[in-house]
A and B are shown apart, each in its own frame.
Chain A
Amino acid sequence: MQAPQAGRHFSFATGPDVELTADYVVVGSGAGGAAAAITLARAGRSVVLCEAGPWRDPEDYPHTMYGTMRDMFNNWGSLVATGDSIIPVVQARLVGGTPVINSAIVVRTPADVLEDWRVRHGLGGVFNEDTIGRAQDRIEQELQIQPSEAEILGPSSERMLQALERLGLEGHPTMRNVANCQGVMQCLQGCRNRAKQTSNVLWIRELLQLGGTVLSCAEVERVAIERGRASGIRGHFRHPEERNRGAGFRVQATRGVFIAASATGSAPLLQRSGVRLPYLGQGWRAHPGAGVLGVYDEHINMHRGPSQAAASIHYRADIGIKLESLSLPLELIAARVGGAGPQLMHKLAQYRKTAMWVAAVRCDAVGSIKRTLWGSTALHFVPSKKDLWRLREGLKIVSKLHFEVGATKVWPGVYGMPAEITPDTLDLFDQAPLDNKAYTWVLSHLFGGCSLGADPATSVVAPDLHLRGVRNLHVVDASAIPTTLGVNPQHTIMAMAMVAAERLVNEERP
């Protein structure tokens, strides 16, 4: 059925297949997909945006973490990286993508990263300080990006900034895409107060106003590739609660297909679509992190304030770590605190007196992602010994920060270390095992699988932004990023997607 489509949103449906035609189809509505879609639509192109998850407005956002995992996380967060340990991956599955559930931290692409891309990956002609900088200026204006305001930092982040200052380390309130943040720690559940300026409340609404089309609950199964040219996509709707399959959909794209299905989704989608490139699914990278809970004599109340309002890049260049405050909801703290039974309950009773600060590691390790025979995604990632050393140093520094501002002890949560560390025993971190299985890592900030680059042996997308060997097929999400960044990636992803979309529109043949 060829449906009227301009300005329409199609959600789960049964019945006849939906058939649409547009200049461009964009797969994935997260940071990259939404940025590409709105750029194309503003340039006057007709766009269909497909998202595997449902479209939830802020009034639909859950309150609890159970609801968040059910309604917003990708498959309840059940995707894990394996290797010599099990590391959970935090990603969302809804219109707006992972930015809906992240801490809204927005950091410009570091100059050293762009220089590295120019020198080692041959990307200087497309992504450079000028093009990325201009895109990021625009994004910062549109998403109201600003430093977290002093009044709403929250006690945990305030303390972290005090500690950094006392130790003479760089520290800053996080830059976030929020407006009128009330500091109620709902960042991870979306933001029911509508403070978070995510694409589902901004760009995707504008896309509809510009005549674009949005498909939600729409799982793209294949990219149609005919005679070396991408011509569209096809898939089926899937009910977000019942998980049953609904009607099929097909989108014919006359000018191009943009893939932005995330660093865990894009490479498997291309593999399903018959793309056979040696580096597809390779070059997968991440900034995994782990935290330390500081325990204080007085109430900290980390449930007040944004989830992450303080950060430090002091050790980004030399050690390769970023330090951040991270206030977790009570439901998640339980799993993070060691022990079980009465011992666990005694620790949980001190929740109000604790603050959690984390070290995120810019890992050297390179992993891979692929589609398995039974259709699921297999992610292989093993942090190296050097990465483990970085994490161990980070946890020690974070503990030192806690002690600097009055913590009496910290709970490191590292197997092989005492359950509690005091200022006198801080150096025990130096003896913590360099073993992945000893740490409670969480994987966020994911990169690669469809890397950009000039060398066909180590890239999937060429510097002209076309997938190697397939015209009109472009990848504009974190999977195209060829390196780690050492900072939160969403600003870089959005800017790269905008630059790529603009460039491709400008290069269109009449």
Chain B
Amino acid sequence: MWLRLVAWCMSVTFPSTDELVGVDRMEVVPFLRQFNRDTPLLMQVALSASVLVFLLSPLLTIGVPLPAPWLSKANQQKHLEKLAGHPIYLLRQTMMMIKTVAGLLWGADPQVRKSLGMDPYKVDPGSWRQA
């Protein structure tokens, strides 16, 4: 459930448009499972805290006392924009964290790269010299 909420936050931050494929059309939950396996606890805590702020802060951004997923599409958009440029530094840093992590998924997507004239990535070997 939590991973789906994180995935939802990333999807509305990087939505598909006429110009580009967004995170909403990508396999976000498997990516997040991998992210949680690979990253130090501090990164996971920072991402979770950022998502929590994103979900619960519409009252602070647009004055609507509802969690972000319950907002209308138009209000969700207003909430996103206000949070990304919020006067309180730590609030706008939460968007930076979500964009940083979601960007790692989005920018490596073969379809996105193709539409921007870039070659797809090969698979990371993940290997090292063991002896």
User: Which A positions have Cβ atoms within 8 angstroms of B?
Assistant: 9, 11-12, 54-57, 59-67, 69-71, 75-76, 78, 85-86, 94-95, 216, 240-241, 243, 299, 301, 303, 329-335, 338-346, 348-349, 351-352, 415, 437, 440
Contact = CB atoms under 8 A, between A and B. Distances in A.
A301 B113 CA distance: 12
Closest 10 CB pairs of A and B: A331-B107, A334-B103, A67-B124, A330-B107, A54-B128, A349-B19, A62-B124, A55-B129, A437-B89, A340-B80
Nearest to B122: A63
Contacts of A349: 17, 19-20, 116
Given A66-B104, A240-B128, A85 B84 contact: no
A56 B13 CA distance: 35
Counting contact residues on chain B (CB < 8 A from A), the size range is: 35 or more
B20 A54 contact: no
Contacts, number: 150
B125 to A, nearest CB: 5
Q: Which of A342, A415, A440 has the most chain B CB atoms closer than 10 A to its own CB? A: A342
A430 to B, nearest CB: 21
B20 A345 contact: yes
B118 interface: yes
Interface in B102-121: 102-108, 112-113, 116-118, 121
Given A59-B125, A342-B77, A335 B15 contact: no
Interface of B: 12-17, 19-20, 22, 38-40, 42-43, 46, 76-77, 80-81, 83-85, 89, 92-93, 95-96, 99-100, 102-108, 112-113, 116-118, 121-131
A396 B108 CA distance: 32
Q: Which of B84, B104, B116, B117 has the most chain A CB atoms closer than 10 A to its own CB? A: B104
A332 B77 contact: no
A334 B40 contact: no
Given A65-B104, A330-B107, A415-B85, A335 B118 contact: no
B83 A340 contact: yes
A330 B117 CA distance: 11
Contacts of A75: 40, 42
Contact of B124 (A66, A241, A243): A66
B95 A340 contact: yes
Given A86-B93, A340-B81, A62 B39 contact: no
